[in-house]
Amino acid sequence: MIEEILNTIKQHENYKGQIVKIYELNGVDYKRCEVPSFIDERVRKALERLGIFSLYTHQVEAIEALKNGFNVILTSSTASGKTLAFNIPVLDALYRNKKATALYLYPTKALAQDQLEKLKLFSEFPIGTYDGDTPQDERIYLRNKGRIIIANPDILHVGLLPNHLLFGRFLSNLKFIVIDEAHYYSGVLGSHFAMVMRRLRRILSYYGSFPQFFLSSATLENPEEFSFKLVGEHFKWIKGPALSPFKKLFVIFNPAIVNETLNIRKSTLSEAIWIVETLLNQGKNVIVFEKSRKGVEILSKQLKERIGNTFEISPYRAGYTVTLRREIEKRIKSGQVRCVVSTNALELGIDIGELDATVIVGYPGTLSSLFQQSGRSGRVKESITFFIVSSNPLDQYFTKDPEYLFSNKFESISIDLDNPYIIKPHLACAAYEVPLSPDIDSEYFGNYFGNGVKELESNGTIVKKSEHFFLNSKTSIASQFSLRSTGEEHIRLIDMETGKTIEKMSKKRALEEAFPSAVYLHLTETYVVKKMDLENGVIYLKKEQTDFYTDALAIETIWIEKTIREKQLRHINVYFGEVVVEEVIRGFVKKQFFTDRKIETCPLDLPKIEFKTKAMWFTIEDSIVNKIKSVEDLPGSIHALEHALVGMLPIIVQCDRKDIGGVSHPKHPDTNLTSIFLYDGVEGGIGITEKAFERVEDLLNITFKSISLCPCKEGCPSCIYSPKCGNENKPLSKNGSILLLKEILS
């Protein structure tokens, strides 16, 4: 019984009350019904061969919605049969129409390969993965004969769309486009992918093809809005169960305090080793999730040194060869590997067999990811999850308000359809694929289309012939920009030992992440920056092993350019609009891996960064300001609140902490009032602070709980300290920020 594991842990000498809360999640009774009678007999027989004689009700709802002509977004828990919900109607259509085709899109090659194996169990249609690893002869075969092509966003962007004439047969007969793990597409990648979808739809229109879309996703806060932004068409939302059919214990585990004054806790890795050893000794098969690749290797090494003679333990992460990953997956499925330590590479739906326990080391960044990782165990029987929180404010929030995890509140997914730095290169790509027509294409590309075309024409990127715009080049520019960044990538990172360019990035990102002496992680290797030559657009790095990482210390100034939306919330006025941010990297701090202990602060002299983006800000009435001034330091109070708001924002909007910034000002010159700003840290904005504007009351309430329930006296890394504060967390007033929030929310 899984309850025995908890008793063993509580009786151990290491136990100091680390268990914050235990949730017993009883399995949900999934209602079943018959396979719809309209499904082709050949599909029904294939299901019976696999032992499937009935379906879940949410699967049937999705199948019937597709039959009735709707685009569908299905949200449900892991192991709830989302894959069957789209495979059945797709195969049904392919059997009924001998020319019909379908396109499946997956965020990773590993997931695409996993889906291929599942589809092969169903049918003998010509099916294959089309990606960078696909041999040339197989590519030709799929273009000429393929009925289902399984691809990823990158190959769609650089391979299929620019060369769509080679795919004429396939695209002309396309009936379904499946986008699995749709919640993966947020922020920069999501905004780019939304443009790729619009390019795809206009090409399909050229071929007279109007397929239905099926989006499969973990639970979202805004599924219908998200699916419309991602694809540009309306969807019907099918809401599946949020929990597994099997019982699960979910344990929130806060490492033991080692210094009460500073609120410093034991390393999450040392606690993870103890828990994993306990689980293995109890006969459980375990998956451990660690956020960083370096953490995966270190945790695997320490586990092997401690218990490797008794149990087989294997790391798993991106950067391994395809052959090695397949071998590890096979050994996990067979039970030969008893414990796998992985990055989020195994978070998504790759089939790795039956697991009894999940150990999550640090909050993975989103609630969707947390429950996806937890759901990797317990797919066929009862299970247990240990969520070991780190000391950062986001993790610690769940120890102060554990009920939030199961309150059915999820992050909004941010996609920005008006970012010129993202839209412009896609307009140029679209002009190459099918000449741009202002009357038609403004419907695909939205408000910025007209200005974007003017800018591209003025700089000679596109040329007007008759009433259409053509790319002024014989080749597409798709390969010249990444779907994971904005702006032009002019800076090359060069490995000094090999002379090879290992990565390209924008000047802004280079100054923030690849400054002189920075520790930079690329794939599986750690590099140290030795020289920055911005004039020639190169940065030189050398491969070195370090026991520390680096964080840039930035000082920001912000100026309002345009207010787009505004509203009043109790005692504050809240705004969303366009801003200009000036950022100076004044130094960096070295911190020890895993403990985050500060080693030293080093100065830097780098050029100023200036960029346009979008922001949410609010102004505070003078009456409230005067109350705070009478008892606390005002600059310290608003500075502390700004830090805490930035730290809590990823609970409200799906984003990474590094994608957002904050500025506080006792009397900002553009507002003439005390003001706090949160801004998108990406040129042009990616929709994060727009969602923050919409859910600002949720954000303020969560931030109040985070600060007021923290046991520290004057502030700590678990509530108001920021690892990237250019002023090194001075001044800060914890009490002042609490009083300020009370006044705002009263």
| CA distance readout (Å), 10 to 6, 17, 18, 254 | 6, 8, 9, 13
CB atoms within 10 A of CB 623: 9
| CA distance readout (Å), 311 to 277, 282, 732 | 9, 12, 48
Regarding whether 379 and 257 lie in a shared domain, the answer is yes
* pLDDT score for 676: 98
**DSSP code at position 157:** I
> Rounded CA gap, 659 and 169, in Å?
41
CB atoms within 10 A of CB 630: 8
> Rounded CA gap, 216 and 372, in Å?
13
> Which of 543, 534, 477, 546 minimizes the C-alpha distance to 508?
534
403, part of any domain: no
> Rounded CA gap, 257 and 267, in Å?
10
**Residue 524 belongs to domain with CATH number:** 2.40.10
Regarding whether 203 and 181 lie in a shared domain, the answer is yes
124: left (phi over 0), alpha (psi -120 to 50) or beta: alpha
> Rounded CA gap, 194 and 191, in Å?
5
* pLDDT score for 488: 66
Q: Do 607 and 511 form a contact (C-beta atoms < 8 A)?
A: yes
Regarding whether 280 and 378 lie in a shared domain, the answer is yes
Cβ contacts of 331 within 8 Å, gap of 6 or more: 312, 314, 337
Q: Which of 459, 480, 501 lies at the terminal end of a domain, its last residue?
A: 480
Q: Do 436 and 468 form a contact (C-beta atoms < 8 A)?
A: yes
> Rounded CA gap, 594 and 225, in Å?
38
Regarding whether 218 and 139 lie in a shared domain, the answer is yes
Mean pLDDT by 10 residues, the chain (746 residues): 88 94 90 95 94 95 97 90 95 96 91 86 91 93 97 96 98 98 92 97 97 91 93 96 88 89 81 95 94 83 84 81 79 88 82 87 90 88 94 92 88 89 96 96 93 95 95 95 79 94 87 94 82 94 91 94 96 96 94 81 94 96 95 97 96 88 96 97 92 96 96 90 89 97 95
Regarding whether 669 and 623 lie in a shared domain, the answer is yes
Q: Do 317 and 343 form a contact (C-beta atoms < 8 A)?
A: yes
Cβ contacts of 284 within 8 Å, gap of 6 or more: 5, 356, 357, 384
597, part of any domain: no
Regarding whether 86 and 224 lie in a shared domain, the answer is yes
Tell how far CA 178 is from the center of its chain: 19
601, part of any domain: no
Three-class SS string for 425-476? Answer: HHHHHHHHHCCECHHHHHHHHHHHHHHHHHHHHHCCCEEEECCEEEECCCCC
Q: Do 389 and 362 form a contact (C-beta atoms < 8 A)?
A: yes
Question: How many domains does the chain fold into?
Answer: 5
* pLDDT score for 56: 95
149 CB-contact burial (10 Å; exposed 0-12 / middle 13-18 / buried 19+): buried
Q: Do 517 and 588 form a contact (C-beta atoms < 8 A)?
A: yes
> Rounded CA gap, 495 and 100, in Å?
48
397, part of any domain: no
* pLDDT score for 11: 94
Tell how far CA 222 is from the center of its chain: 15
Q: Which residue type is seen at 418?
A: D
Beta strands per DSSP E along 477-547: 491-495, 501-505, 519-522, 525-533, 538-543
722, part of any domain: yes
Q: Which of 218, 239, 260 lies at the terminal end of a domain, its last residue?
A: 239
Regarding whether 575 and 452 lie in a shared domain, the answer is no
110, part of any domain: yes
How big is the CA angle at 423 (ends 417 and 424), to the nearest 5 degrees? 160
Q: Which residue type is seen at 251?
A: V
Q: What is the chain's length? A: 746
Q: Do 409 and 163 form a contact (C-beta atoms < 8 A)?
A: no
**Residue 367 belongs to domain with CATH number:** 3.40.50.300
Regarding whether 144 and 195 lie in a shared domain, the answer is yes
595, part of any domain: no
603, part of any domain: no
> Rounded CA gap, 55 and 84, in Å?
9
Q: Do 736 and 707 form a contact (C-beta atoms < 8 A)?
A: no
Radius of gyration of the chain (CA): 26
Regarding whether 427 and 342 lie in a shared domain, the answer is no
> Rounded CA gap, 743 and 463, in Å?
57
Regarding whether 565 and 712 lie in a shared domain, the answer is yes
Report which secondary-structure segment, H or E, holds 45: helix 41-49
Residue range(s) defining the domain that contains residue 281:
3-26+245-390
Report which secondary-structure segment, H or E, holds 388: strand 383-388
Q: Which residue type is seen at 326?
A: R
Regarding whether 385 and 293 lie in a shared domain, the answer is yes
The DSSP code sequence of 55-91 is: EEHHHHHHHHHHHTT--EEEE--TTS-HHHHHHHHHH
Q: Which of 456, 480, 504 lies at the terminal end of a domain, its last residue?
A: 480
* pLDDT score for 33: 94
What is the phi/psi pair of residue 393, to 5°? -55, -40
Regarding whether 146 and 42 lie in a shared domain, the answer is yes
Cβ contacts of 140 within 8 Å, gap of 6 or more: none
Peptide bond into 731 cis (omega under 30): yes
The DSSP code sequence of 408-424 is: T--PEEP--S--HHHHH
